[in-house]
Amino acid sequence: MSERAAVESSTGTLGTTAGASAAGASASTSAGGSPDRERRHERTPGRITPPARLRGELRLPGDKSISHRALLMAALAEGESRIAGAGDGADVRSTAAVIEALGATVGRAREDARNVDYVVVSPGADGLREPHGVLDCGNSGTTLRLTTGMLAGLALTAVLTGDASLRQRPVARIIEPLRSMGAVLHARRHDSLPPVTVVGRTPLRAIEAWTPVPSAQVKSAILLAGLRAEGRTTVREAVATRDHTERMLRARGVPVERAAVEGPSGPGVAWSLEGMTNVHAVSEHIPGDVSAAAFWLVAAAIHPDAELTLRNVGINPTRRAVIDHLRRMGARIDELPGRPDDGVGEPTADLLARSSALEAIDLGPADVAAAIDEIPILCLAATQARGTTVIRGAGELRHKESDRLAGIAAGLAALGADVDVDVSDDEIRISGPTGLRGAITDSLGDHRLAMTFAIAGLIARGETVVLRPDSVTVSYPGFFDELERVGA
């Protein structure tokens, strides 16, 4: 069954139906959040016209995934932790507010338009307190799922919720393993959706868990709970997902072992740690977010006259798939090595991206899992690639901040792209190259869709309008300022 007809028939009414979708980002810095959270996206659309050329040097927001984990681990570690260059988007602010509500002192030592240096002083895991109110995770699934794992091993009770979008995102995959470890958890709609109530206990029972659907958040929730379990906790993955949690635990004195295993459908990987191990306070610098870099890499590749330099980008082997996929398509991306990969810290590089002639590629489920956050912008790249790009096994996109599968199809179709989504197996087919035309696009309150459609506006004929552009503050405050600067 094809969604093409539904997509094409919807594009003419995007501008009048934008208000129906739930909004995303939270800029709250308190556990209670803002009472008008559901109304925070302004309806004034972002407007983009194609510049003659793209030039400039960009320093990206600190990696969002690493920034979340750094704050949570700082809460578990007794003493002072320093986190330099953390992303200052609304999602990371939600995590900072949550650990503050649990008893950590969170200071902002330095900040600019994109990043912040945090100083966190914590009494450690045993000294964290039960929060006085509900923990507001805003739009951040990472905050909710990883904090739930952390709280499962603490002797306290907490309720975690978020905005309208987050309250529709699944949590059953973390509830089941955490319950088997001895924590008590409840959620609405038969334990499938937030809010989530956690009644933690110390110590938990160590388990061996299998995650058939690739999810770094589920893996990380179990490993964080495993820190407070008696014995050895192991998480087995069918496909290796991002390993920031494992690296960061090693850097904080927690031995984490990796082993190759045989899964139901082929080779997999297992991660193990011994429980009741203390997390040490450290100082660290967060690299630039490769997911944010992806938008500029595609912008340079598809624009006819572009050269962009991206400084200090994280190129973790489990996160760099978007770079490798784009190179397979023919994107001209040079890497100037920075920090080497020692298996504990995060490797970095400067990236130089230029205008390119792209070719279609096929991405299978493992490819999608390795670049799940970058699939929307890769779809845009596919509209400018010669041939038909096929993306298989993209069903997880339906459970992000929005239904990204439907959202990217609708937005690209509005811009004139040849895009088809098969709902029977969550397959996307995009044929190109296609000359895009300016149109009204709906971000659905989703930061990654908003930035994808804005980048499309750099090459679309006429004016492109992005509805609810403020959603970009979830991960990339200042994005539209940078867009204007490099296109000047």
Residues 195, 161 contacting (CB under 8 angstroms): yes
Cα separation, 388 vs 34, whole angstroms? 45
CB atoms closer than 10 angstroms to residue 354: 16
Residues 329, 361 contacting (CB under 8 angstroms): yes
- Which amino acid, 4? R
Cα separation, 185 vs 308, whole angstroms? 47
| Sign of the CA dihedral running 12, 15, 16, 21 | positive
Task: Kindly name the residue from 373, 426, 442, 470 that is annotated as catalytic.
Answer: 373
| Sign of the CA dihedral running 25, 282, 322, 242 | negative
List of E strands, 166-227:
184-187, 193-199, 204-205, 208-211
Cα separation, 172 vs 285, whole angstroms? 33
Contacts made by residues 11-14, CB under 8 angstroms, sequence distance 24+: 11/410, 11/413, 11/414, 11/439, 14/410, 14/414, 14/439, 14/440, 14/441, 14/442, 14/467
Q: Is 355 exposed, middle or buried (0-12, 13-18, 19+ CB in 10 A)?
A: middle
Measured CA to CA in angstroms, residue 101 lies from 119, 227, 269 at distances of 15, 21, 35
First CA to last CA across the chain, in angstroms?
A: 44
Whether 334 is a known active-site residue: answer no
Name the strand (E) or helix (H) holding 467: strand 464-467
Residues known to be catalytic: 373
